Structure 1
Amino acid sequence: MWFTSDNAAGAAPGVIEAMARADEGPAMAYGADAVTERARGLVREVLGAPDAAVHFVATGTAANALALATLTPPWGAIWCHDHAHVEEDECGAPEFFTGGAKLVKLAGGDGRIAPAALDAAIGATGGAVHHVQKGALSLTQATEAGTVYSAADLRALAGAAKAAGASVHLDGTRFANALAATGASPAEMSHEAGVDILCLGFTKNGALAAEAVVIFDDRLAWEFELRRKRAGHLFSKMRFVAAQVAALLEEDRWLRLAEHANRMAADLAAGLSALPGVRILHPVEANLVFAELPRAAHEAARAKGAAYHNWAGDAGPDHVTVRLVCSHATGADEVDALLAACRAG
């Protein structure tokens, strides 16, 4: 019963085998090899972006921070949600790599930036030399609350940012889960919506350590390469990172894995909703479930070995707020076991 994070899951089927195949003999270093070039081609094909620059790093923090540094000068504002990963969980990496750009937090229910909040922030940014200037809008897909933006939502928010002269970054660490939830195409959810740089996540969806940074504006590509090298994220044996991406994109494995994780989360939420005293805190659209559990149910689940995170929230003395995350490796038996343990409480 492991629901702490989709980062906790092991490699998806085919990933380690792909890395082993990439180990057959020598290859050119620093991404100048056939495996990496094939992975780049698959990313471009999936996104319907034949001219996009595609670069690989090993962590989502590196992807986001380097992408935002490419888009935002040190005197720029990065508009993001109150609870965006770049704000709460990256140890100041965006500020560090941008050389001091200011993260401006925006409100919005269920993890999504409210259009009115963005409009207000745009209106309050720029102008006199005393003020931080317009830089970039950072969106998270799926959100930290486990919800998703529709393609129309993305277009509207990105359009407002672009009209103000700002760029658009999409933290797509759970991009596959959002696609599986909405049925939108990868193109509709990225460059067709106005995204300049997409950080396309694979680690949470079955890779060991692999993320792709997809740059749709070719004027930004060389700067990103320089920043990646200077930051120490240009791996000499890049083929082992790229092989993971290729293995997941082949035959739409990445989408099938995300669909499974989403389905497990939906089943878990439905089962919890049927229990007395349980409240689901956000719509369950991707693979995360936030809930208030009766303290007795929480303690019973813990006693049975359930692993998940307690979450910030004023649930009162008789309830506990928790976050439960399903992954490609979550089994229906684990969901059933957790629900049974909660019932026993």
Structure 2
Amino acid sequence: MDFSSDTSASAHPAVLEALAKANTGTQSSYGADDVTERVRALLLDTLETDDFEFWMCASGTASNALALSVMCSPTGSILCHREAHIERDERGAPEFFTGGAKLHLLDGPSAQIDETELREALDAIDRSFVHETPAETLSLTNLTESGTAYPVDTVTHYAALAKAAGLTVHLDGARLANALISTGSSVADMTWRAGVDVLTLGLTKTGAIGCELIVLFGDMRAKYPELLARAKRSGHMPPKMRFLAAQAEAMLTDNLWLSLAAQANARAREFANAICTVPGVRLAHSVDGNEVFAVLPEGLAEHLQKAGGVFYPWIDGSHRFVCSWATTEQEIDALRSALAG
């Protein structure tokens, strides 16, 4: 019963098969290979536009930090939620990669930015005031770090507010597939149609070994040469790019990434239904994807751990349980048995 993280899961067999297929013959280096070109073709369908450029990284931290480095200057700031991954889990990588940009932290329930907080931060921007660090970028996370999903309407609304104030908009989509499944949205509707300028599209948590895509939409395509320079300078330009591309090709073909996210979301709902049968258990946040945050009565966490459960206490006093594409019905049954024991 390993519910520690979707990054603890194995890679999907299709990914391993794609890697083996790519591991034949020779290919040009640094993204000039046939596999990367096939990924571009798949993205045309996935994104429903040809107005983009993309780059691939092996980790979400690298993709977020590189993306933000071409969006925000060293003397600007990035608006994000206080619990956003770029604040809580990336050891200052966005600040480091941007050369000094500040993260301006906003609050709101369930790791979603409160609209009043956002409006106040935008209204307070005064670029003529030398003592201020004016906001230049808004970063949203979907799913959030509390497992909740911003609906398309909210992303669109927040993006419009940000753009009216002269900001660019970044979407951290490490678990984008899970958010798309729960909201019934398309990638296009959740990103460029909603006003998102740069997307970090996560495939690692969905079933890849390590593959994240930085996607620049519209006018941000002009930043592509700078993105490449920063990727090279920071050591995120792997010569054998085809092996990252092979993972992306496997995940995007026939929308496998969405199918796997649907499986993970379904297991999470089953998990939530099971654990909520225990008196005293309550959900800290809505289950909008593949994560369950449950407040447990005294002794239950220890009981589940003794039964073989693996999970983490969370910063809000709840415990986080994460399902992945590889979470089985047998594991959910084992949870039910442990709860009944």
The two structures have a TM-score, normalised by structure 2, of 0.97
CA contact (8 A) 1:58 1:211 kept: yes
Q: Does 1:74 pair with 2:74?
A: yes
Question: The residue matched to 2:31 in structure 1 has which SS?
Answer: coil
- Structure 1 Cα separation of the partners of residues 143 and 82 of structure 2: 15
Q: Which residue of 1 aligns with 2:289?
A: 286
Distance in 1, matches of 2:199 and 2:69, equals: 13
Unmatched segments (≥5 aa) in structure 2: none
- Structure 1 residue 144: Cα displacement: 0.6
Q: Per the alignment, in what secondary structure is the counterpart of residue 24 of structure 1?
A: coil
Paired position in structure 2 for 1:109 = 109
- State the 1:131 CA deviation: 0.8
Alpha-carbon distance in 2 for matches of 1:326, 1:287: 5
Identity %: 46
User: Structure 1 stretches of 5 or more lacking a match?
Assistant: 315-320
Offset, 1:260: 0.5
Query: How far off is 1:287 after superposition?
Result: 0.6
**1:163 corresponding residue in structure 2:** 164
AA of the residue aligned to 1:340: S
Which letter maps to 1:135? E
Amino acid at match of 2:213: A
Separation in 2 of the partners of 1:12 and 1:230? Answer: 31
Correspondences of 1:226-237 after superposition (within 5 Å): 226-237=229-240
Q: Distance in 2 between matches of 1:331 and 1:43?
A: 30
SS at match of 2:70: helix
Instruction: Give the 5 Å matches for 1:1-345.
Output: 1-127=1-127, 128-216=129-217, 217-314=220-317, 321-344=318-341
Opposite residue 253 of structure 2, the aligned amino acid is: E
Q: Which amino acid aligns with 2:314?
A: W
Equivalent pairs counted in the alignment come to 338
CA-to-partner distance for each residue in 1:246-294, whole Å, 9 max, x for gaps? Answer: 1011111111100000011111111111211101100001111001112
Structure-2 separation of matches of 1:6 and 1:251: 21
Distance 1:40 1:92 in 2: 31
CA deviation profile, 1:103-128 (whole Å, cap 9, x unmatched): 01111111211111111111222331
**TM superposition shift of 1:295:** 2.7
SS in 2 for 1:218: helix
What SS class does the counterpart of residue 91 from structure 1 fall into?
coil
Q: Supply the distance in 2 between the matched residues of 1:43 and 1:141 (Cα, whole angstroms).
A: 19
Residue 77 of structure 1 contacts residue 125 of structure 1 at CA under 8 Å; is this kept in 2?
Answer: no
Over aligned residue pairs, what C-alpha RMSD do you find? 1.0
Shift of 1:45: 1.8
Deviation at 1:296, TM superposition (A): 2.4
In 2: Cα distance, 1:126 partner to 1:193 partner: 26
The 2-side partners of 1:83 and 1:125 are apart by 22
